[in-house]
Amino acid sequence: MFHRFGLRGWASLATLTFGTFGTFGTSGIALAQVSQPPIRILNPTNPNPNPGDARMNQFEDAKGASWRVFAVDSLPDAPVVIAQVGEVKQHNPPSTWSVHVTNHSLLPAKSVTVAAAVVDVNGNIKAIQPLPAIKDLKPSQVQRRETRIRVTVIAPTDRVVFYLRELMSEAGDWKASESDVAALIRTAAQRLPVP
């Protein structure tokens, strides 16, 4: 059984806690002043940003991302995002690949098209395979899709990259530019090198 006693003094609050026989009591002092962390001014010319910088948000990877499978944010303004990616290993190769898509909007998405790009060691796209469209993705809903890559043979050092190709919703319509996607994939491939 614990008993708390409040003591007044020094314009601060002190609390003593006494425990049962054989236990130690604790004391805590809460001061009136609380220190605040410094406000950082975002320097756009800083070549070495801290991980907390707003510019580092572009490098947040989907859950399950690795050098072998990852996702790029081809539609950064869209309310639908790729939340998770993965390789579903089979006893008999080839593996299948999974992607989880979620809707962060308050409005449903009429149609979401995800594509899987097969990328070589240097980040160059070998082939693109669009997945079947996801219809009527409700707000906060997560859809999982699994696919087998059939457009090309995947070498041991190749990677699979998922991206949103097209989105139609009541909030608006978005379509990814293939040249922008290629640049995003090349940048992400350099960040996640082949071991």
> How much of the chain, in percent, has pLDDT values that exceed 70?
69
The dotted CATH code for 61-191 is 2.60.40.10
Q: What angle do CA 187, 191, 195 make, to 5 degrees?
A: 130
Please give the residue that has the higher pLDDT: either 163 or 11.
163
45 in the Ramachandran plot: left (φ > 0), alpha (ψ -120 to 50) or beta?
Answer: alpha
- Asked whether residue 92 carries a pLDDT value surpassing 90, the answer given is no
pTM recorded for the entire structure: 0.68
C-alpha–C-alpha distance, residues 9 and 67, integer Å? 59
Q: Which residue is it, tokens 């996607």?
A: 181
Q: What angle do CA 71, 73, 75 make, to 5 degrees?
A: 140
